[in-house]
A and B are shown apart, each in its own frame.
Chain A
Amino acid sequence: MSEPIVWLTIFVLSVFVGIEVIAKVSSTLHTPLMSGANAIHGIILLGAVIVTGSTDNAVATAVGLVAIVLAAVNMVGGFVVTDRMLVMFTRRKPMKRDEVGR
Protein backbone atom coordinates (compact mmCIF):
# COMPACT_ATOMS: atom_id res chain seq x y z
CA MET A 1 0.00 0.00 0.00
CA SER A 2 1.21 3.48 -0.73
CA GLU A 3 1.63 5.77 2.24
CA PRO A 4 -1.39 8.08 1.78
CA ILE A 5 -3.61 5.01 1.58
CA VAL A 6 -2.19 3.74 4.86
CA TRP A 7 -3.08 7.05 6.52
CA LEU A 8 -6.52 7.10 4.96
CA THR A 9 -7.10 3.55 6.22
CA ILE A 10 -6.11 4.50 9.76
CA PHE A 11 -8.35 7.58 9.58
CA VAL A 12 -11.43 5.76 8.33
CA LEU A 13 -11.07 2.91 10.81
CA SER A 14 -10.62 5.42 13.65
CA VAL A 15 -13.85 7.17 12.66
CA PHE A 16 -15.77 3.92 13.01
CA VAL A 17 -14.07 3.00 16.26
CA GLY A 18 -14.73 6.49 17.66
CA ILE A 19 -18.44 6.21 17.01
CA GLU A 20 -18.71 2.59 18.04
CA VAL A 21 -17.05 2.93 21.47
CA ILE A 22 -19.39 5.65 22.69
CA ALA A 23 -22.57 4.57 20.88
CA LYS A 24 -24.28 3.31 24.04
CA VAL A 25 -23.40 6.10 26.46
CA SER A 26 -26.17 7.21 28.83
CA SER A 27 -27.09 10.89 28.96
CA THR A 28 -25.84 10.99 32.57
CA LEU A 29 -22.29 10.62 31.27
CA HIS A 30 -22.47 13.07 28.36
CA THR A 31 -20.71 15.84 30.25
CA PRO A 32 -17.76 13.78 31.58
CA LEU A 33 -17.42 12.05 28.22
CA MET A 34 -17.27 15.36 26.39
CA SER A 35 -14.77 16.63 28.91
CA GLY A 36 -12.61 13.49 28.66
CA ALA A 37 -12.62 13.58 24.85
CA ASN A 38 -11.70 17.24 25.13
CA ALA A 39 -8.67 16.30 27.23
CA ILE A 40 -7.62 13.64 24.71
CA HIS A 41 -7.27 16.16 21.89
CA GLY A 42 -4.86 18.00 24.16
CA ILE A 43 -2.40 15.45 22.76
CA ILE A 44 -1.68 18.18 20.20
CA LEU A 45 0.90 19.00 22.88
CA LEU A 46 3.00 16.22 21.37
CA GLY A 47 2.84 17.92 17.97
CA ALA A 48 3.64 21.30 19.50
CA VAL A 49 6.72 19.88 21.26
CA ILE A 50 8.03 18.23 18.07
CA VAL A 51 7.51 21.34 15.93
CA THR A 52 9.03 23.71 18.48
CA GLY A 53 12.01 21.43 19.06
CA SER A 54 12.88 21.28 15.38
CA THR A 55 12.99 24.96 14.45
CA ASP A 56 15.83 27.45 14.80
CA ASN A 57 13.82 30.53 13.86
CA ALA A 58 13.24 32.77 16.90
CA VAL A 59 9.70 33.80 15.95
CA ALA A 60 8.72 30.21 15.19
CA THR A 61 10.15 29.12 18.53
CA ALA A 62 8.12 31.75 20.36
CA VAL A 63 4.93 30.75 18.54
CA GLY A 64 5.68 27.10 19.28
CA LEU A 65 6.15 27.81 22.98
CA VAL A 66 2.77 29.57 23.09
CA ALA A 67 1.24 26.52 21.40
CA ILE A 68 2.87 24.27 24.01
CA VAL A 69 1.45 26.30 26.90
CA LEU A 70 -2.06 26.27 25.37
CA ALA A 71 -1.92 22.56 24.58
CA ALA A 72 -0.67 21.71 28.07
CA VAL A 73 -3.55 23.68 29.61
CA ASN A 74 -5.96 21.70 27.43
CA MET A 75 -4.46 18.31 28.21
CA VAL A 76 -3.70 18.56 31.93
CA GLY A 77 -6.70 20.72 32.80
CA GLY A 78 -9.02 18.50 30.78
CA PHE A 79 -8.01 15.26 32.47
CA VAL A 80 -8.04 16.80 35.97
CA VAL A 81 -11.49 18.38 35.62
CA THR A 82 -12.89 15.14 34.16
CA ASP A 83 -11.51 13.22 37.11
CA ARG A 84 -13.10 15.68 39.54
CA MET A 85 -16.48 15.05 37.94
CA LEU A 86 -16.09 11.30 37.90
CA VAL A 87 -15.03 11.07 41.54
CA MET A 88 -18.53 12.25 42.36
CA PHE A 89 -20.06 9.42 40.38
CA THR A 90 -17.99 6.71 42.05
CA ARG A 91 -18.26 8.12 45.56
CA ARG A 92 -21.90 7.16 46.01
CA LYS A 93 -20.96 3.52 46.46
CA PRO A 94 -21.18 2.78 50.18
CA MET A 95 -17.92 0.81 50.06
CA LYS A 96 -15.98 3.92 49.12
CA ARG A 97 -17.18 6.02 52.03
CA ASP A 98 -13.63 7.05 52.93
CA GLU A 99 -13.29 8.94 49.66
CA VAL A 100 -15.90 11.44 50.75
CA GLY A 101 -13.63 13.57 52.84
CA ARG A 102 -12.43 16.02 50.21
Chain B
Amino acid sequence: MITGTPIWVQLVYLACAVSFILALKGLSGPKTARVGNLIGAGAAGVAVLVPFFYLDLDHVVLILLAVAVGSAAGFLGAQRVQMTQMPQMVALFNGVGGGAAALVALLELADFADLVAGQGTADLVPTFDVVATVFTIVVGSVSFSGSIVTFAKLQELMTSRPVLFPGLPLVFGGALLVTLVLAVVVVNEPSTLFGVLLGLIGLVIGALLVLPVGGADVPIVISLLNAFTGLTVAAGGYVLGNVVLLVAGTLVGASGTFLTLLMAGAMGRSVLNILFGAFKGGSTLGAGEASDRPVRSASPEDVAILLGYADRVIVVPGYGLAVAQAQHTLRELVEVLGARGTQVDYAIHPVAGRMPGHMNVLLAEAQVPYEQLIEMDDINGDFKQTDVVLVVGANDVVNPAARTTPSAPIYGMPILNADEAQQVVFMKRSMRPGFAGIENELLFDPRTTMLFGDAKDSLGKLLAAVKTL
Protein backbone atom coordinates (compact mmCIF):
# COMPACT_ATOMS: atom_id res chain seq x y z
CA MET B 1 0.00 0.00 0.00
CA ILE B 2 2.91 2.32 0.68
CA THR B 3 4.26 1.48 -2.75
CA GLY B 4 2.93 3.84 -5.34
CA THR B 5 3.04 6.84 -3.05
CA PRO B 6 5.68 9.35 -4.16
CA ILE B 7 8.80 9.51 -2.02
CA TRP B 8 8.34 13.19 -1.21
CA VAL B 9 4.86 12.48 0.13
CA GLN B 10 6.21 9.73 2.36
CA LEU B 11 8.92 12.06 3.64
CA VAL B 12 6.42 14.83 4.40
CA TYR B 13 4.25 12.29 6.22
CA LEU B 14 7.26 11.12 8.21
CA ALA B 15 7.97 14.71 9.21
CA CYS B 16 4.35 15.15 10.29
CA ALA B 17 4.44 11.96 12.35
CA VAL B 18 7.59 13.16 14.12
CA SER B 19 5.95 16.55 14.69
CA PHE B 20 3.05 14.88 16.46
CA ILE B 21 5.50 13.14 18.81
CA LEU B 22 7.16 16.51 19.51
CA ALA B 23 3.71 18.07 20.00
CA LEU B 24 2.76 15.57 22.71
CA LYS B 25 6.17 15.91 24.32
CA GLY B 26 5.72 19.68 24.36
CA LEU B 27 2.21 19.46 25.74
CA SER B 28 3.43 17.55 28.78
CA GLY B 29 5.60 20.41 30.09
CA PRO B 30 4.27 23.78 31.28
CA LYS B 31 6.86 25.89 29.45
CA THR B 32 6.67 24.05 26.15
CA ALA B 33 2.95 23.25 26.08
CA ARG B 34 1.82 26.09 23.85
CA VAL B 35 4.60 25.57 21.33
CA GLY B 36 3.83 21.85 21.36
CA ASN B 37 0.21 22.49 20.51
CA LEU B 38 1.18 24.84 17.67
CA ILE B 39 3.59 22.24 16.26
CA GLY B 40 0.76 19.72 16.30
CA ALA B 41 -1.60 22.15 14.57
CA GLY B 42 1.00 22.98 11.91
CA ALA B 43 1.76 19.32 11.20
CA ALA B 44 -1.95 18.49 10.95
CA GLY B 45 -2.47 21.38 8.53
CA VAL B 46 0.42 20.31 6.30
CA ALA B 47 -0.63 16.64 6.33
CA VAL B 48 -4.16 17.51 5.22
CA LEU B 49 -2.87 19.61 2.31
CA VAL B 50 -0.61 16.86 0.91
CA PRO B 51 -3.25 14.70 -0.88
CA PHE B 52 -4.41 17.72 -2.90
CA PHE B 53 -0.97 17.83 -4.52
CA TYR B 54 -0.27 14.22 -5.36
CA LEU B 55 -3.67 12.55 -5.76
CA ASP B 56 -6.09 13.23 -8.56
CA LEU B 57 -8.99 13.94 -6.21
CA ASP B 58 -12.58 14.20 -7.35
CA HIS B 59 -15.05 16.70 -5.88
CA VAL B 60 -12.25 19.07 -4.87
CA VAL B 61 -14.57 22.06 -4.59
CA LEU B 62 -17.05 20.21 -2.39
CA ILE B 63 -14.23 18.85 -0.25
CA LEU B 64 -12.73 22.29 0.27
CA LEU B 65 -16.17 23.65 1.10
CA ALA B 66 -16.72 20.90 3.70
CA VAL B 67 -13.29 21.56 5.22
CA ALA B 68 -14.10 25.28 5.39
CA VAL B 69 -17.49 24.68 7.03
CA GLY B 70 -16.08 22.28 9.62
CA SER B 71 -13.07 24.48 10.36
CA ALA B 72 -15.23 27.56 10.81
CA ALA B 73 -17.63 25.71 13.12
CA GLY B 74 -14.75 24.28 15.17
CA PHE B 75 -12.96 27.63 15.34
CA LEU B 76 -16.02 29.59 16.43
CA GLY B 77 -17.04 26.94 18.97
CA ALA B 78 -13.56 26.89 20.45
CA GLN B 79 -13.36 30.69 20.56
CA ARG B 80 -16.75 31.23 22.15
CA VAL B 81 -16.82 28.46 24.75
CA GLN B 82 -16.49 29.58 28.35
CA MET B 83 -13.53 28.09 30.16
CA THR B 84 -15.98 26.53 32.62
CA GLN B 85 -17.65 24.62 29.78
CA MET B 86 -14.43 23.40 28.27
CA PRO B 87 -14.70 19.76 29.40
CA GLN B 88 -17.90 19.26 27.46
CA MET B 89 -16.36 21.04 24.46
CA VAL B 90 -13.48 18.55 24.48
CA ALA B 91 -16.03 15.73 24.74
CA LEU B 92 -17.92 17.10 21.76
CA PHE B 93 -14.79 17.51 19.61
CA ASN B 94 -13.77 13.99 20.51
CA GLY B 95 -17.18 12.63 19.62
CA VAL B 96 -17.27 14.18 16.15
CA GLY B 97 -13.75 12.86 15.52
CA GLY B 98 -14.89 9.35 16.41
CA GLY B 99 -17.92 9.77 14.18
CA ALA B 100 -15.74 10.90 11.29
CA ALA B 101 -13.47 7.87 11.72
CA ALA B 102 -16.48 5.53 11.72
CA LEU B 103 -17.85 7.10 8.52
CA VAL B 104 -14.48 6.86 6.77
CA ALA B 105 -14.29 3.18 7.72
CA LEU B 106 -17.83 2.62 6.48
CA LEU B 107 -16.83 4.00 3.07
CA GLU B 108 -13.80 1.71 3.05
CA LEU B 109 -16.03 -1.25 3.84
CA ALA B 110 -18.35 -0.28 0.97
CA ASP B 111 -15.30 -0.31 -1.33
CA PHE B 112 -14.37 -3.79 -0.11
CA ALA B 113 -17.94 -4.97 -0.65
CA ASP B 114 -17.93 -3.60 -4.22
CA LEU B 115 -14.61 -5.28 -4.89
CA VAL B 116 -15.87 -8.62 -3.62
CA ALA B 117 -19.12 -8.32 -5.60
CA GLY B 118 -17.17 -7.41 -8.75
CA GLN B 119 -14.69 -10.25 -8.47
CA GLY B 120 -17.13 -12.81 -7.07
CA THR B 121 -14.56 -13.79 -4.45
CA ALA B 122 -13.36 -12.37 -1.15
CA ASP B 123 -9.75 -13.39 -1.81
CA LEU B 124 -8.65 -9.98 -3.03
CA VAL B 125 -9.50 -8.24 0.21
CA PRO B 126 -6.99 -8.89 3.01
CA THR B 127 -8.85 -10.20 6.05
CA PHE B 128 -6.99 -8.01 8.48
CA ASP B 129 -7.98 -4.89 6.55
CA VAL B 130 -11.62 -5.81 7.03
CA VAL B 131 -11.03 -6.53 10.71
CA ALA B 132 -9.46 -3.10 11.16
CA THR B 133 -12.35 -1.51 9.27
CA VAL B 134 -14.95 -3.23 11.43
CA PHE B 135 -13.03 -2.20 14.56
CA THR B 136 -13.06 1.43 13.43
CA ILE B 137 -16.77 1.42 12.63
CA VAL B 138 -17.73 -0.03 16.01
CA VAL B 139 -15.32 1.84 18.26
CA GLY B 140 -15.74 5.11 16.36
CA SER B 141 -19.51 4.86 16.88
CA VAL B 142 -19.03 4.02 20.57
CA SER B 143 -16.82 7.07 20.92
CA PHE B 144 -19.34 9.27 19.11
CA SER B 145 -22.44 8.37 21.12
CA GLY B 146 -20.50 8.02 24.39
CA SER B 147 -19.10 11.51 23.94
CA ILE B 148 -22.50 12.96 23.12
CA VAL B 149 -23.97 11.47 26.32
CA THR B 150 -20.97 12.80 28.24
CA PHE B 151 -21.58 16.22 26.73
CA ALA B 152 -25.24 16.08 27.75
CA LYS B 153 -24.28 15.16 31.31
CA LEU B 154 -21.72 17.94 31.67
CA GLN B 155 -23.91 20.53 30.00
CA GLU B 156 -26.65 19.39 32.39
CA LEU B 157 -29.01 18.65 29.53
CA MET B 158 -29.64 15.44 31.47
CA THR B 159 -28.99 14.31 35.02
CA SER B 160 -25.36 13.95 35.98
CA ARG B 161 -26.23 11.05 38.25
CA PRO B 162 -25.79 7.46 37.07
CA VAL B 163 -28.67 6.34 34.86
CA LEU B 164 -29.55 2.70 35.41
CA PHE B 165 -32.44 0.52 34.41
CA PRO B 166 -33.16 -3.09 35.27
CA GLY B 167 -31.52 -5.48 32.85
CA LEU B 168 -28.90 -2.95 31.73
CA PRO B 169 -26.04 -5.47 32.08
CA LEU B 170 -28.05 -7.97 30.01
CA VAL B 171 -28.80 -5.47 27.25
CA PHE B 172 -25.17 -4.36 27.27
CA GLY B 173 -23.91 -7.94 27.09
CA GLY B 174 -26.45 -8.72 24.35
CA ALA B 175 -25.30 -5.74 22.29
CA LEU B 176 -21.68 -6.86 22.62
CA LEU B 177 -22.58 -10.39 21.52
CA VAL B 178 -24.53 -9.18 18.48
CA THR B 179 -21.59 -6.95 17.56
CA LEU B 180 -19.24 -9.89 17.71
CA VAL B 181 -21.46 -12.08 15.55
CA LEU B 182 -22.03 -9.32 12.98
CA ALA B 183 -18.30 -8.58 12.94
CA VAL B 184 -17.49 -12.21 12.11
CA VAL B 185 -20.10 -12.20 9.35
CA VAL B 186 -18.77 -8.98 7.84
CA VAL B 187 -15.16 -10.13 7.99
CA ASN B 188 -16.12 -13.28 6.07
CA GLU B 189 -18.07 -11.35 3.50
CA PRO B 190 -17.83 -7.55 3.47
CA SER B 191 -21.30 -6.00 3.34
CA THR B 192 -22.22 -2.34 3.56
CA LEU B 193 -25.60 -3.03 5.13
CA PHE B 194 -24.07 -5.03 7.97
CA GLY B 195 -21.46 -2.31 8.33
CA VAL B 196 -24.22 0.25 8.91
CA LEU B 197 -25.83 -2.12 11.42
CA LEU B 198 -22.53 -2.45 13.26
CA GLY B 199 -22.30 1.32 13.43
CA LEU B 200 -25.81 1.58 14.86
CA ILE B 201 -25.11 -1.04 17.53
CA GLY B 202 -21.89 0.79 18.30
CA LEU B 203 -23.96 3.91 19.00
CA VAL B 204 -26.13 1.94 21.43
CA ILE B 205 -23.10 0.46 23.19
CA GLY B 206 -21.51 3.89 23.57
CA ALA B 207 -24.62 5.31 25.22
CA LEU B 208 -25.05 2.29 27.50
CA LEU B 209 -21.40 2.49 28.48
CA VAL B 210 -21.58 6.12 29.65
CA LEU B 211 -25.12 6.39 31.05
CA PRO B 212 -24.33 4.50 34.30
CA VAL B 213 -21.23 6.61 34.99
CA GLY B 214 -21.67 9.16 37.78
CA GLY B 215 -21.00 12.83 37.13
CA ALA B 216 -17.74 13.04 39.04
CA ASP B 217 -16.21 10.24 36.98
CA VAL B 218 -17.19 11.69 33.61
CA PRO B 219 -13.80 13.34 32.94
CA ILE B 220 -12.12 9.94 33.13
CA VAL B 221 -14.58 8.66 30.56
CA ILE B 222 -13.83 11.58 28.23
CA SER B 223 -10.16 10.69 28.45
CA LEU B 224 -10.89 7.03 27.75
CA LEU B 225 -13.12 7.80 24.76
CA ASN B 226 -10.38 10.12 23.52
CA ALA B 227 -7.98 7.16 23.56
CA PHE B 228 -10.62 5.05 21.75
CA THR B 229 -10.91 7.60 18.97
CA GLY B 230 -7.12 7.63 18.68
CA LEU B 231 -7.09 3.88 18.13
CA THR B 232 -9.82 4.07 15.50
CA VAL B 233 -7.78 6.67 13.63
CA ALA B 234 -4.78 4.34 13.82
CA ALA B 235 -6.83 1.45 12.42
CA GLY B 236 -8.15 3.73 9.69
CA GLY B 237 -4.54 4.64 8.88
CA TYR B 238 -3.67 0.98 8.50
CA VAL B 239 -6.54 0.35 6.10
CA LEU B 240 -5.79 3.46 4.03
CA GLY B 241 -2.08 2.70 4.12
CA ASN B 242 -1.38 6.09 5.61
CA VAL B 243 1.55 6.40 8.02
CA VAL B 244 0.49 9.75 9.52
CA LEU B 245 -2.91 8.43 10.56
CA LEU B 246 -1.37 5.27 11.98
CA VAL B 247 1.28 7.06 14.03
CA ALA B 248 -0.91 9.98 15.19
CA GLY B 249 -3.78 7.68 16.11
CA THR B 250 -1.55 5.24 17.95
CA LEU B 251 0.18 8.04 19.85
CA VAL B 252 -3.16 9.41 21.02
CA GLY B 253 -4.47 5.94 21.80
CA ALA B 254 -1.45 5.00 23.89
CA SER B 255 -0.93 8.32 25.66
CA GLY B 256 -4.69 8.69 26.16
CA THR B 257 -4.95 5.28 27.80
CA PHE B 258 -2.00 6.11 30.04
CA LEU B 259 -3.46 9.51 30.91
CA THR B 260 -6.78 7.85 31.78
CA LEU B 261 -4.99 5.57 34.24
CA LEU B 262 -3.12 8.56 35.74
CA MET B 263 -6.37 10.49 36.23
CA ALA B 264 -8.18 7.50 37.70
CA GLY B 265 -5.23 7.07 40.06
CA ALA B 266 -5.52 10.70 41.16
CA MET B 267 -9.11 10.00 42.15
CA GLY B 268 -8.29 6.70 43.84
CA ARG B 269 -10.49 4.79 41.39
CA SER B 270 -9.90 2.01 38.92
CA VAL B 271 -11.15 2.50 35.38
CA LEU B 272 -13.12 -0.74 35.48
CA ASN B 273 -14.81 0.33 38.68
CA ILE B 274 -15.74 3.68 37.13
CA LEU B 275 -17.27 2.07 34.05
CA PHE B 276 -18.96 -0.93 35.58
CA GLY B 277 -19.21 -0.08 39.28
CA ALA B 278 -22.84 0.95 38.87
CA PHE B 279 -23.67 -2.43 37.34
CA LYS B 280 -22.99 -4.17 40.63
CA GLY B 281 -25.75 -2.40 42.47
CA GLY B 282 -26.84 1.04 43.52
CA SER B 283 -23.57 1.89 45.24
CA THR B 284 -22.85 4.94 43.11
CA LEU B 285 -26.30 6.36 43.67
CA GLY B 286 -26.43 9.16 46.18
CA ALA B 287 -29.26 10.84 47.99
CA GLY B 288 -29.25 13.62 45.44
CA GLU B 289 -31.62 15.80 47.41
CA ALA B 290 -31.17 18.59 49.87
CA SER B 291 -31.23 17.49 53.48
CA ASP B 292 -33.27 19.36 56.09
CA ARG B 293 -30.87 18.70 58.97
CA PRO B 294 -29.92 21.85 60.88
CA VAL B 295 -26.77 23.74 59.92
CA ARG B 296 -25.17 26.90 61.25
CA SER B 297 -25.36 29.76 58.81
CA ALA B 298 -23.87 33.23 59.16
CA SER B 299 -23.90 36.64 57.53
CA PRO B 300 -21.06 37.90 55.33
CA GLU B 301 -20.10 40.31 58.14
CA ASP B 302 -19.63 37.44 60.62
CA VAL B 303 -17.48 35.56 58.14
CA ALA B 304 -15.49 38.73 57.40
CA ILE B 305 -14.51 38.95 61.07
CA LEU B 306 -13.57 35.29 61.10
CA LEU B 307 -11.32 35.76 58.07
CA GLY B 308 -10.02 39.21 58.96
CA TYR B 309 -8.51 38.10 62.26
CA ALA B 310 -7.18 34.74 61.11
CA ASP B 311 -3.45 34.16 60.71
CA ARG B 312 -3.74 31.38 58.19
CA VAL B 313 -6.53 30.86 55.66
CA ILE B 314 -6.81 28.23 52.96
CA VAL B 315 -9.23 28.72 50.10
CA VAL B 316 -10.69 25.61 48.48
CA PRO B 317 -12.12 26.69 45.12
CA GLY B 318 -14.58 24.50 43.25
CA TYR B 319 -16.62 24.46 40.11
CA GLY B 320 -19.36 26.60 41.73
CA LEU B 321 -16.86 29.45 41.92
CA ALA B 322 -16.26 29.28 38.21
CA VAL B 323 -19.94 28.96 37.36
CA ALA B 324 -20.64 32.16 39.31
CA GLN B 325 -17.71 33.82 37.49
CA ALA B 326 -16.45 34.89 40.91
CA GLN B 327 -12.73 34.14 40.42
CA HIS B 328 -11.84 37.80 40.11
CA THR B 329 -13.72 38.80 43.27
CA LEU B 330 -12.11 35.93 45.14
CA ARG B 331 -8.64 37.01 44.01
CA GLU B 332 -9.40 40.54 45.24
CA LEU B 333 -10.54 39.21 48.61
CA VAL B 334 -7.38 37.15 48.96
CA GLU B 335 -5.27 40.22 48.10
CA VAL B 336 -7.00 42.32 50.75
CA LEU B 337 -6.56 39.59 53.36
CA GLY B 338 -2.93 39.24 52.35
CA ALA B 339 -2.45 43.00 52.83
CA ARG B 340 -3.87 42.62 56.37
CA GLY B 341 -1.13 40.10 57.13
CA THR B 342 -3.12 36.90 56.74
CA GLN B 343 -1.36 34.09 54.94
CA VAL B 344 -3.76 32.83 52.26
CA ASP B 345 -3.24 29.98 49.80
CA TYR B 346 -5.46 28.16 47.37
CA ALA B 347 -5.67 24.40 47.83
CA ILE B 348 -6.14 22.77 44.43
CA HIS B 349 -7.59 19.29 44.36
CA PRO B 350 -6.39 17.35 41.28
CA VAL B 351 -9.96 17.06 40.00
CA ALA B 352 -11.24 20.43 41.19
CA GLY B 353 -13.56 21.79 38.53
CA ARG B 354 -14.75 19.27 36.03
CA MET B 355 -11.45 17.81 34.82
CA PRO B 356 -7.95 17.32 36.20
CA GLY B 357 -6.18 20.66 36.03
CA HIS B 358 -9.38 22.51 35.14
CA MET B 359 -9.23 24.73 38.25
CA ASN B 360 -5.68 25.80 37.44
CA VAL B 361 -6.88 27.00 34.07
CA LEU B 362 -9.82 28.87 35.58
CA LEU B 363 -7.75 30.62 38.27
CA ALA B 364 -4.98 31.41 35.81
CA GLU B 365 -7.66 33.12 33.74
CA ALA B 366 -8.42 35.31 36.78
CA GLN B 367 -4.68 36.05 37.09
CA VAL B 368 -4.21 34.44 40.46
CA PRO B 369 -0.42 34.17 41.01
CA TYR B 370 0.80 30.65 40.29
CA GLU B 371 2.70 30.45 43.61
CA GLN B 372 -0.56 30.69 45.59
CA LEU B 373 -1.99 27.58 43.89
CA ILE B 374 -0.85 24.67 46.01
CA GLU B 375 -1.51 21.08 45.03
CA MET B 376 -3.28 18.70 47.37
CA ASP B 377 -0.34 16.62 48.50
CA ASP B 378 1.71 19.71 49.35
CA ILE B 379 -0.98 21.48 51.38
CA ASN B 380 -2.79 18.63 53.12
CA GLY B 381 -0.40 18.73 56.08
CA ASP B 382 -1.16 22.44 56.64
CA PHE B 383 -4.85 22.19 57.45
CA LYS B 384 -4.20 21.31 61.14
CA GLN B 385 -2.51 24.70 61.64
CA THR B 386 -5.12 26.58 59.64
CA ASP B 387 -7.59 28.95 61.31
CA VAL B 388 -10.20 29.12 58.57
CA VAL B 389 -10.81 27.08 55.46
CA LEU B 390 -12.98 28.94 52.95
CA VAL B 391 -14.69 26.45 50.64
CA VAL B 392 -16.09 28.30 47.64
CA GLY B 393 -18.41 26.31 45.42
CA ALA B 394 -16.70 22.99 46.17
CA ASN B 395 -18.14 20.02 48.00
CA ASP B 396 -17.05 16.53 46.99
CA VAL B 397 -13.32 17.30 47.23
CA VAL B 398 -13.62 18.02 50.97
CA ASN B 399 -16.17 15.31 51.74
CA PRO B 400 -14.80 13.10 54.56
CA ALA B 401 -17.05 10.27 53.31
CA ALA B 402 -14.22 9.56 50.87
CA ARG B 403 -12.23 8.38 53.90
CA THR B 404 -14.92 7.02 56.20
CA THR B 405 -17.82 5.58 54.18
CA PRO B 406 -16.92 2.56 52.04
CA SER B 407 -20.35 2.61 50.39
CA ALA B 408 -19.93 6.18 49.11
CA PRO B 409 -19.21 6.47 45.38
CA ILE B 410 -16.22 8.71 46.10
CA TYR B 411 -14.79 6.33 48.72
CA GLY B 412 -11.03 6.09 48.29
CA MET B 413 -10.69 9.39 46.44
CA PRO B 414 -7.96 11.47 48.08
CA ILE B 415 -9.55 14.61 49.55
CA LEU B 416 -8.41 17.93 50.98
CA ASN B 417 -8.29 17.64 54.76
CA ALA B 418 -10.48 20.69 55.36
CA ASP B 419 -12.10 18.89 58.30
CA GLU B 420 -8.83 19.19 60.25
CA ALA B 421 -8.93 23.01 60.36
CA GLN B 422 -10.20 25.10 63.29
CA GLN B 423 -13.10 26.54 61.32
CA VAL B 424 -14.64 25.77 57.98
CA VAL B 425 -16.74 28.23 56.00
CA PHE B 426 -18.78 26.83 53.12
CA MET B 427 -20.03 29.24 50.49
CA LYS B 428 -22.86 27.48 48.72
CA ARG B 429 -26.06 28.36 46.96
CA SER B 430 -28.07 25.72 48.78
CA MET B 431 -27.70 22.47 50.68
CA ARG B 432 -27.81 20.56 47.42
CA PRO B 433 -25.12 17.84 47.24
CA GLY B 434 -22.12 18.11 44.93
CA PHE B 435 -21.63 16.61 41.49
CA ALA B 436 -21.22 13.11 42.94
CA GLY B 437 -24.72 13.42 44.41
CA ILE B 438 -23.91 12.51 48.01
CA GLU B 439 -24.32 14.31 51.29
CA ASN B 440 -21.32 15.91 52.99
CA GLU B 441 -21.13 15.36 56.76
CA LEU B 442 -18.72 18.26 57.07
CA LEU B 443 -21.60 20.66 56.36
CA PHE B 444 -23.21 19.60 59.65
CA ASP B 445 -20.02 19.74 61.72
CA PRO B 446 -20.20 22.15 64.71
CA ARG B 447 -17.07 23.94 63.45
CA THR B 448 -18.67 24.62 60.10
CA THR B 449 -20.38 27.86 59.11
CA MET B 450 -22.54 28.14 56.01
CA LEU B 451 -22.69 31.31 53.93
CA PHE B 452 -25.58 30.80 51.55
CA GLY B 453 -25.95 32.67 48.28
CA ASP B 454 -24.47 33.12 44.84
CA ALA B 455 -20.67 32.92 45.15
CA LYS B 456 -20.03 36.21 43.35
CA ASP B 457 -22.64 38.05 45.36
CA SER B 458 -21.44 36.65 48.70
CA LEU B 459 -17.78 37.23 47.91
CA GLY B 460 -18.58 40.84 46.98
CA LYS B 461 -20.30 41.42 50.34
CA LEU B 462 -17.49 39.59 52.14
CA LEU B 463 -14.91 41.76 50.40
CA ALA B 464 -16.75 44.95 51.36
CA ALA B 465 -17.08 43.75 54.97
CA VAL B 466 -13.39 42.82 55.25
CA LYS B 467 -12.39 46.26 53.94
CA THR B 468 -14.28 47.97 56.78
CA LEU B 469 -12.55 45.95 59.52
Contact = CB atoms under 8 A, between A and B. Distances in A.
Which of A3, A24, A44, A83 is most buried by chain B, counting CB atoms within 10 A of its CB? Answer: A44
Given A18-B251, A18-B253, A29-B357, A86 B70 contact: no
A76 B75 contact: yes
Interface string B24-41: 110111100110111011
Nearest to B248: A43
A28 B52 CA distance: 39
B34 A46 contact: no
Contact of A40 (B89, B99, B248): B248
B177 interface: no
B74 interface: yes
Interface residues of B, number: 108
Interface in A61-102: 61, 63-92, 100
Contacts of B51: 46, 49-50, 53
Nearest to B74: A77
B60 A53 contact: yes
Contacts of A11: 234, 238, 246, 250
Given A56-B58, A70-B100, A19 B73 contact: no
A41 to B, nearest CB: 5
A37 B24 contact: yes
Nearest to A7: B238
Given A70-B96, A73-B70, A80-B79, A34 B355 contact: yes
Contacts of B83: 84-85, 88
A63 B62 contact: no
A82 to B, nearest CB: 5
Contacts of A67: 99-100, 103-104, 107
Interface stretch (B157-165, B221-229, B306-314, B394-402): B221-229
Contact of B93 (A3, A42, A64): A42
A11 to B, nearest CB: 6
Interface in B224-277: 226, 229-230, 232-234, 236-238, 240, 242-256, 258-259, 262-263, 266
Contacts of B255: 18-19, 21-22, 33, 37
A25 B73 contact: no
A contacts with B: majority SS: helix
A71 to B, nearest CB: 4
Contacts of A52: 59, 62-63, 66, 107
A36 B230 CA distance: 12
Nearest to B355: A31
B106 interface: yes
Contacts of A17: 21, 251, 254
Interface string A9-29: 011001111110111111111
For the complex of A and B, 9 pairs with smallest distance between CB atoms: A72-B70, A77-B74, A53-B57, A18-B254, A74-B97, A30-B356, A14-B250, A80-B78, A71-B100
Interface of A: 3-4, 6-7, 10-11, 14-19, 21-57, 60-61, 63-92, 100
Given A41-B229, A63-B106, A67-B104, 15 more contacts: A10-B247, A11-B246, A29-B30, A30-B357, A34-B259, A37-B251, A39-B41, A43-B244, A52-B107, A53-B60, A54-B55, A67-B100, A69-B69, A75-B97, A92-B367
18 contacts: A4-B128, A6-B2, A18-B250, A18-B255, A25-B259, A37-B230, A38-B90, A39-B44, A40-B20, A46-B50, A48-B103, A51-B104, A51-B108, A57-B110, A65-B62, A68-B63, A73-B74, A89-B364
